[in-house]
Amino acid sequence: MRFRNLAIITAVAAALAGCTNETLDSVNLSSVKNKTEYQLSSKMVSKMRELGMQKTSAILLRIFKEEGTLEVWKANASSRFQLLKSYKICAWSGKLGPKVKEGDRQAPEGFYPLYPHQMNPNSNYYLAINTGFPNTYDKANGRSGTHLMIHGACSSSGCYSMTDEQIIEIFALARDAFKGGQENVQLQAFPFRMTAENMARHRDNSNIEFWKMLKAGYDQFEVTKRPPQVNVCERKYVFNQQSDGSFNPAGQCPAMSTPPALQVAMANFDKDYQRDYQKALKKYDGMVWYEPSEAERKAIVAEQRKGRELAYAPTGTSLDAGKLMKVSDLEKRLAEQKEAQEAKQAALIQKEALEKATREGKAVPVPQQSPIERPVQQAALQTAPVQKSFWKLFSKSEPEAQATAPVNAAPAEQSAAQPSAQPPAEQRPAAGQQRAATPAAAPNPQVATAPVAGGDAAPAEQPPRKRPFWKIWGN
């Protein structure tokens, strides 16, 4: 009975998981022989049939960064679009906000037409669809960047990256739509679902005016369930506008008008929106949304990367890593982040300067000697025995005299104190007369000094002076 109950629980859990877990319906890539000719699963085709869709009917893609979601919408028999499937984006880089320049790691936001020639079956990231960034609006506003894709491999530097199992399905859906005659697939890339509550939550973001412009196209699709007609004039997007003139992206907008039916529908939609927006403002009064960095998003999903290839780098959603905060707390947090960033930048500049000096052969700066004076150490004194005269070698009464001379005595002082090599005749002792002992303090006449490194003098041996011939036999 216990095993039977366990089996029932397992079956129910699997059935419930099948309602929400797209991995159960994912592609088995090991069985795919030609990735560009992959045919959609029978489950996907059955779902299309249930929703009144043809396999080759038109599609539309919608991306929401904050939620980390890519949606595929497909036209039904009445040419209205319905949600066919929602995919969890594996990786997107940067933060909320549009791409502005090459290298900023931002993923594009806006409306982008995708044409057949933008499909890349030979991508290094399994399969890829070029977003076409920069589009007409981006070019009119001086934005730059290249090779911004929707691709596989789950790794992003400004792209929207999916898993290989996801991109092969998205690629097949676009391929079949082009076969059915669709001229281009509209990609709508938004920072978040542009509801009244989300707009109120992000009201203090520096990109809010840009997002309000995108919201006009978002709202019209929500109302009509058809891709809006997109034009650009005065460096801004305009949607579903009728005009007899031409649209100049950087020039003045021509005389325009909104179709009457759309105008009425949008007026009713906007009335409800304003009511919900005011309600949301009260909810978020005194609170602001902290937008997390890419690193903070990655930290949330770090467990997902364990045991996977290094290229597998999911980035998580901003909703999981972000936070509502009081204004004062956010200001303090941003100030701390700025201080840490400045310290990091200063260290980097110092490191680069040191590396540059080393490459150019300049001497690496070293710490200067301490200006505090050190005590002068006195040089040790060395002593040398005074050599006795020949006739004194047999004298037992003569005291042993030692003479000391400082090692660092100046040569001039030594030469002045040293007796001459041959004294005058009147100073010579008579035969048999004993000479007086040399005082101990007198310099040794047999020791001379020689200079050494550092300016000091060291003793050097001198050859003994020759005695006169008549003194050899003296008593």
Instruction: Return the beta strands (E) in 77-193 as ranges.
Output: 81-88, 91-92, 110-114, 119-120, 128-130, 149-151, 160-161, 185-190
Taking alpha carbons only, the member of 134, 192, 142 closest to residue 158 is 134
Residue 43's DSSP bridge partners are: none
CA–CA separation, 145 vs 134, rounded Å?
Answer: 7
Which of these is catalytic: 90, 154, 159, 233?
A: 159
CA dihedral angle for residue 407, residue 409, residue 411, residue 416, rounded to 10 degrees: -120
Reduced DSSP (H G I as helix, E B as strand, rest coil) percent helix, strand, coil of the chain, to 5 = 35, 15, 45
Phi, psi for 337 (deg, rounded to 5): -65, -40
Contact present, 34 and 51 (Cβ < 8 Å): no
Residue 447 in tokens: 């020791």
Contact present, 153 and 311 (Cβ < 8 Å): yes
Residue 360 in tokens: 């150019």
Which of these is catalytic: 90, 117, 147, 151?
A: 151
Q: Are strands 128-130 and 149-151 parallel, antiparallel or unpaired?
A: antiparallel
Q: Are strands 160-161 and 91-92 parallel, antiparallel or unpaired?
A: antiparallel
Residue 172 in tokens: 């097949």
If you compute the radius of gyration of the chain from its CA atoms, what whole number of angstroms results?
A: 47
CA–CA separation, 235 vs 253, rounded Å?
Answer: 9
Contact present, 188 and 71 (Cβ < 8 Å): no
Residue 215 in tokens: 């919201």
Residue 269 in tokens: 């939609």
Look at phi and psi of residue 422 and say left if phi exceeds 0, alpha if psi is from -120 to 50, else beta.
beta
> Catalytic site residue 159?
yes
Contact present, 392 and 398 (Cβ < 8 Å): yes
CA–CA separation, 7 vs 1, rounded Å?
Answer: 10
CA dihedral angle for residue 48, residue 49, residue 51, residue 57, rounded to 10 degrees: 60
Could you list the active site residues? 151, 159
